[in-house]
Structure 1
Amino acid sequence: MSGHSKWANIQHRKGRQDAKRGKIFTKMAKDIIIAAKGGGDPDMNARLRLAIAKAKAVNMPNDKIDTAIKKGTGELAGGDISEVIYEGYGPGGVAVLVEATTDNKNRTVAEVRHSLSKAGGSMGEAGCVAWMFDRKGMMTFSAEKYTEDQLLEIGLEGGVDDVKAEDDVIEVYCAPEDFSEAQKAFEDAGVESLSAELTYVAQNMIEVDVPTAKKLMNLMDALDENDDVQNVNVNADFPDELMAEMED
């Protein structure tokens, strides 16, 4: 089970996504800036096209999107942003892989280290947990609208290599190089995704108990509150009891 998606579902049920909306535009702008470094034309830059689509999905104003693109291409100042990955361990020895975009690596690494330490975890050396994850293209679809078989049949032509049902969504995975083609296959079929992103997926999951899962959730929340952090990936299988508790 994907720890990332399970946590996202818990966030949604607790209303956390609305609470952090003020930070979303900052994160989206950085994502667009990084993507635009590969070219400012979304028709020729698949990564930029995806970043723009994600920004529009959260109602980011067009002028902010345009400004971010120009910063990325160098037309405007403010594009000095780098991508970094931090690795470490969280409660219960869970592997934590943090994707960030920052204009100050010293600040960001200190903040990520502080969040890990405060949660009882620790920062690790480069490569200590990255080998436990695979880079994947991931799309999610409503389980009420589509079936796994339907999505697999459509997605196979676009390079989809795995389909999994997770709670009320169906996750579809593919290799990063097939991501654009897979998206196009679903778009051409008139199948609308709930989300689409390039992310890290754990090869194997660690079962954690409810107390550990709660500590891990708090850590992931703290990291996600950081404007520099784009994604938090873990190899934890959150217990179903936690989902039931969130619904109460």
Structure 2
Amino acid sequence: MSGHSKWSTIKRKKGEKDGARAKVFTKISREIIVAIKEGGGDPNNNAKLATLIQKAKSNNIPNDNIDRLIKKAVGGGEKNDYENCVYEGYGPNGVAVIVDCLTDNRNRTAGEIRHYFDKFGGNMGTSGCVSFMFSLKGIIVLDNEEGTIDEDKAMEDILEAGGDDFSFEDGCVEITTDPKEVENVANALRDMGYTVVSAEAEQVPSTYTTLTDEDQIKKMGLLLETLEDNDDVQNVWHNWDMD
């Protein structure tokens, strides 16, 4: 079946960079805090929280750190009130970029994101200026590092769980589904014994832009790195063909 391997490669590269900078815990922490405020601190009754705990473990965050964060958030010790903000813009040569943030200061974050676009040869646009080039899809990634998942059995299980499509990638299985059902499908797959590495609603580009100018390539890379290095930024989606 068809998948989104190009998109997956981009996201995996992003994840590796975030982990290398030790930023991943800060980012996941904010997601966990928001998830607990919205759905409570019991992962058995909060599918989003369960997914985030697994995401934290997949990024080698110690269980003690996760437990302390959850207890603090449940006990009301976390005073920051984060809100979701989405910014859209263009990188060099019109590369479409969507920046998803969780911030406790909207004005600060907007100013910083605008500055990054300007600094690296792009510009921040208005809401909707590039999102029409993306489709919101539920993306679930299953761990298959050992290559033990049988494709025929996986197809049966994925369809039974409510997945729409899947593809076997390098060390993982990537599943697409309705973004509103991503947590339910992920939970069903966990119950079947699969290890869910991530399960999120993601912006998948419909077309890609290629950069050939070395200066543009350098600036686009720096734009992405700088955005991802900002603690307020949770996800950066773009349609740059990095292959």
1:175 aligns with 2:178: yes
- The alignment of Structure 1 onto Structure 2 pairs a total of residues equal to 235
What corresponds to 1:151 in structure 2?
154
In structure 2, the residue matched to 1:236 is 240
Give the conservation status (yes or no) of the 8 Å contact 1:3–1:234: no
Partner secondary structure for residue 86 of structure 1 = strand
Indicate the residue corresponding to 1:93 in structure 2: 94
Could you tell me the TM-score, scaled by structure 1's length? Answer: 0.81
Distance in 1 of aligned mates of 2:240 and 2:5: 8
Distance 1:167 1:119, change over 3 A: farther
CA contact (8 A) 1:88 1:121 kept: yes
Flag the 1:154–1:67 CA change in 2: closer, same or farther, 3 A.
same
Within the alignment, does 1:107 sit opposite 2:108 as a pair?
yes
Query: Structure 1, residues 105-136: CA drift from partner, whole Å, max 9, x if none?
Result: 11111111122122211111112222332332
Pairwise CA RMSD of aligned residues? Answer: 2.7
Equivalent residue for 2:204? 202
Instruction: Report the residue type matching 2:200 in the other structure.
Output: L
1:13-62 Cα offsets, whole Å, 9 max, x none, are: xx6355212x2221121111111111222222211221222123223344
Q: Does 1:223 align with 2:227?
A: yes
Unaligned runs of 5+ in 1: 240-248
TM-score normalised per structure 2: 0.82
The change in CA–CA distance for 1:103 and 1:63 in structure 2 (over 3 A counts) is farther
Counterpart secondary structure, 1:237: coil
Q: How far did residue 228 of structure 1 move?
A: 1.0
In 2, the alpha carbon distance for the partners of 1:120 and 1:54 equals 33
Quickly say closer, same or farther: Cα 1:61–1:43, change in 2 above 3 A: same
Letter in 2 for 1:35: A
Residue 164 of structure 1 is matched in structure 2 by: 167
Report what 2:141 is aligned to. 140
Give CA-to-partner distance per residue, 1:197-234, whole Å, 9 cap, x none.
Answer: 31323241214135455543332211111111111111
Q: Which amino acid aligns with 2:119?
A: K
Instruction: Tell me how far apart the structure 2 counterparts of residues 63 and 229 of structure 1 sit (CA, whole Å).
Output: 24
**What SS does structure 2 have at the residue aligned with 1:216?**
helix
Whether contact under 8 Å (1:148, 1:163) holds in the other structure is no
Provide the identity percentage: 40
Matched residues in 2 for 1:4 and 1:223: separation?
Answer: 18
Q: Per-residue CA shift, 1:163-202, capped at 9, x if unaligned?
A: 2345554321111232233223322333334x21313232
Q: How does 1:124-139 map to 2 (within 5 A)?
A: 124-139=125-140
Residue 48 of structure 2 corresponds to 47
